[in-house]
């Protein structure tokens, strides 16, 4: 049974390769900023993951399609991809020395059986105190600062030193895909892992 990831993310693609399972990827082009979208972070990521999976599933008939979405969450504020370097700088200043959360939603459809699974994962993160110089050092190193909803790449360059403590799914936070949950969901939806 073929697996299709409804994502354009190179991080998710590279992470999924670790499972040693054949798969393809296809972007959904879903508008994530629609009016009336859920305000609760868990509901939001699950809803967006569902929209992405359903959009891609229209192009298939017997596959397992998996949609994802990730956001950061800080004191009631949804953290999405920063729009500019200045935005990323302000984001990192705001998170410096604070606790924030990272949510990933997963929506899995077995098109052959019609079975659907929907889950979300929450990871709590503690950022150490960051100086302006450290933030700028990272932003100078990584022109793709906007790849992560939190404004930094947790696996790359100097930003890998930013998080002091991670409680929850390390894979979700670093790769946008909680592999430990994906494996359980695939088994539950009828995929034989080996």
Measured CA distances, 92 to 52, 56, 79, 172, 177 (Å): 28, 34, 11, 19, 22
- Residues marked as catalytic: 69
CB 146 within 8 A of CB 92: no
**Where do the H-state alpha helices sit in the chain?**
10-17, 41-57, 85-95, 132-141, 170-175, 179-188
Distance CA 144, CA 148 (A): 9
Q: Alpha-carbon torsion 36, 39, 44, 47, what sign?
A: negative
């Amino acid at each position: 049974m073929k697996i299709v990831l409804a994502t354009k993310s190179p991080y998710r693609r590279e992470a999924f390769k670790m499972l040693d399972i054949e798969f393809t990827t296809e972007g959904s082009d879903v508008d994530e900023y629609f009016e009336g979208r859920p305000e609760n972070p868990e509901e939001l990521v699950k809803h967006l993951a569902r929209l992405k999976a359903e959009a891609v599933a229209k192009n298939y008939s017997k596959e397992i399609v998996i949609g994802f979405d990730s956001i950061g969450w800080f004191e009631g504020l949804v953290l999405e991809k920063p729009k500019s370097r200045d935005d990323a700088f302000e984001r990192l200043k705001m998170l410096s020395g604070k606790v924030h959360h990272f949510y990933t939603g997963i929506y899995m459809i077995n098109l052959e059986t019609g079975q659907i699974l929907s889950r979300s994962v929450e990871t709590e993160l503690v950022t150490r105190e960051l100086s302006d110089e450290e933030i700028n050092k990272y932003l100078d190193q990584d022109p793709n600062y906007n790849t992560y909803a939190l404004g930094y790449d947790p696996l790359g360059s100097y930003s890998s030193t930013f998080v002091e403590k991670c409680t929850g799914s390390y894979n979700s936070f670093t790769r946008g895909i909680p592999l430990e949950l994906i494996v359980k969901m695939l088994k539950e939806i009828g995929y034989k892992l080996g």
